[in-house]
Amino acid sequence: MNKYKRLLSNTLIFAIGTFSSKVLSFLLTPLLSHALSPAEFSITNMIVDMGNLLLPVVTLGIVNSIIRFGLDRSVKKSDVFSTGFFTILFGFLLLLVLQPVIVPVLTPVMELMDIEPKYVSQYMMYLICFVGMSSMRSLFSQFTRARGLVRLFAVDGIISTFTTVLFSCLYVMVFHMGVVGYISAIITSDTCSVIFLAITSKNLRYLQPLRIDRAVPGAMLRYSIPMVPNTIFWWITNIANRFLIAALMSQTDAGLYVAAYKVPNLIVLVSGIFMDAWQMSAVTETKGRNRFFTRVFTAYYALMFMAASGVILFSKVITHILVADDYYVSWQYIPLLVVATVFTCLVNFLGSVYMMEKKSMHSLLTAIVGAGVNVGLNFLLIPVWGVNGSVVAMLVSYFVVFLIRMADTKRYVRIRVSIFRMSVNTALLLVQALIMIFEFPLWILWEILLTALMLVLNAKEILESVMKILHRGGKASAENG
């Protein structure tokens, strides 16, 4: 199997697992909304949000190192798994010891996230168990992926989601355990996932603490620790807009922004599936790397621009389907959000170069720049253009990070990109977004024509990629070299 087919195969496997999980998760929301009061539903989301924020801090971001070093053929798998296991165990024990000071220390952060500190105090032990089991499940699942067991990784994703739905229904709807029931369901599901992977993948045989190469833990932590603030800064970039809109405008406008963001998240979902597969190829495929990265990136950005154009065209229809009538006016924020999302995906792709080269500090520094630009422009543009001013701030921040990463990554991999083609794609998408927002005369006709033009301009790259994937024989071998 050549590297293009391997990439496609892994992408399809991850897609099956992800979409199956999303369907089950979609079914869970209405069930919980009937079983929990609005206050209880809000509290459960608060606890989960707080747990997800604590995860990288408590584990020192070691999960990021699991996939990167686990794919490295020069590093023993047992060193990677043992380092991850004991780092997570140490973080969990430290969290237990420090639990009395967690709420006072993190109160400012919780207030920023609209989390009531009293609820975190009330459910502290459940929060700690949530963090512990979630991090352990991440260790087992990512290590399974790093070993190349992608089918098992996808199956575990489906089973994990199914057990979350099952235990949520059991604890919340049958036993009426409320907030505790939902958090317990997630903990139980993660525990089942760890047991399932421990049995099927036999990951525990790689737990060999007495044989760890002393250089590996240090290298893994040097890579993973910068990813902790990196995660936090991207979190700031992604959610700061909502809080600033609420502060400078109103909670209603912030709610409309959140509703609008659901639509471009469809693009992020598809991109995320591909990135799971691409990370593996980026690290393991070493022959003809420059050509490989160039071909894949060219097809990737072509697909992103085509998908974005289609989403903008149907933004009103999609909004009508996904949100309630009261939120329908949020469609006017979708076009520019979609453009911003395209550059989010391109930034994530270039981040795979840093992952391949273990340059996590570069990821951190560019994330800091992105967060700074985004927050600064929000203060300038929201008073002028309202919610769309905040969206423009996000778009500019990701575009700036894209330009920085595009220039910086050339020292590691020479991705040849047509500046003219990229500029034309960006210009077309921006024009399409503005026509939709301002509803110029004959806007529907213009939207259709611009979408068709976008498809024509980018179809060649997609077709060439398909031919490369279907390619067999001697030429395939030559390309691999």
Quote the crossing angle between the two packed helices 360-385 and 215-224, to the nearest 10°: 10
pLDDT digit string, tens, across residues 377-402? 999 999 999 999 999 999 999 999 99
**Tokens 């010891």 found at:** 97
Selection from 313, 336, 287, 295 nearest residue 444 by Cα:
313
Q: What is the pLDDT of residue 20?
A: 62
Confidence of residue 33 (pLDDT cuts 50, 70, 90): low
For residue 112, the model assigns a pLDDT of: 65
Q: What integer pLDDT is reported at residue 193 of this predicted model?
A: 95
Q: What is the pLDDT of residues 408-462, one digit of tens each?
A: 999 999 998 889 999 999 999 999 999 999 988 888 999 999 999 999 999 888 8
The residues, any chain, with a CB within 8 Å of residue 237's CB and separated by 6 or more, are 367, 370, 371, 374, 394, 397, 398
Instruction: Calculate the CA dihedral of residues 93, 96, 97, 101 and round it to 10 degrees.
Output: 140
> In the prediction, which pLDDT does 23 show?
63
Q: CB–CB of 480/287 below 8 Å? A: yes
Cβ 44 vs Cβ 172: under 8 Å? no
d(CA 136, CA 341): 31
DSSP 8-class letter at 327: G
Residue 479 has pLDDT above 60, yes or no: no
pLDDT band at residue 325, thresholds of 50, 70 and 90? confident
CA 124 to chain centroid: 26
Q: What would the pLDDT profile of 39-53 be if each residue is shown by its tens digit?
A: 787 688 778 878 888
